[in-house]
Amino acid sequence: MLLIRLGASRGGPEAAISLLVDKAGSAKMAETCRRRRVLNGQYWSGDPYVKLLLDAMKHSGCAVNKERHFSCEDCNGNVSGGFDASVSQIVLCQNNICNQAHMNRVVTHELIHAFDHCRAHVDWFTNVRHLACSEVRAANLSGDCSLLNEILRLHFGLKQHHQTCVRDRAIRSILAVRNISKEVAQKAVDEVFESCFNDHEPFGRIPHNKTYARYAHRDFQNRDRYYSNI
């Protein structure tokens, strides 16, 4: 999800995910989150999805520094995280992330946005189709729509269920950050869906689970070694 912090200068009023006003103890909570979950990286840096994305970012010239590119904050609503493109920073909503698996998935989702920001000229703030494409890719490749997660949400279906989940979650993410109608968000997603759903970079496939993600990471490393030796 694209994130725009309130109170900062941005290119328009369309999108905003507000952060809670600091209250007693919140600074201490944020520091605990940074130290234990983000800056050390030990809680999620071993996740195969995250490992591949960190390698891909570095390979693309956008190496991730955990202290610089991550921030733990309290967020309003049920938002779990966001990518602030204006400062190239991922925000993790410490008050809404409930467990380690959730943390890993949020980090993966937002790193996909960061990867898109690195590799392409994404107009996050005025081109809803660009935003829609990255949201489709993030929902498709992060594990958001894995069979297990959908079962836990009590969402069932067989025929093209993954595609339906990706479309629905992309639309929801757009509506969370843009002051537009659902119809406009749906139109943007539908216009880019086929090409963006089939863009699997840097995984090279849809990593439906951690085993697929490990295979994708291995293939990425082998591909990187091959091109470095040409």
Give me the active site residues, please. Answer: 110
- The C-alpha angle with vertex 140 and arms to 11 and 16, in degrees rounded to 5, equals 25
Residue of 87, 92, 48 whose CA lies nearest to 207: 48
Helices 128-141 and 100-119, interaxial angle, to 10°?
A: 140
Residue of 145, 121, 149, 147 whose CA lies nearest to 133: 121
Whole-number Å distance between alpha carbons of 206 and 226: 22
Cβ(55)–Cβ(217) below 8 Å: yes
Alpha-carbon distances, residue 110 vs 23, 79, 160 (angstroms):
26, 12, 25
CB burial of 117-134 (b: ≥16 within 10 Å; e: otherwise) equals: bbbeebebbeebebbbbb
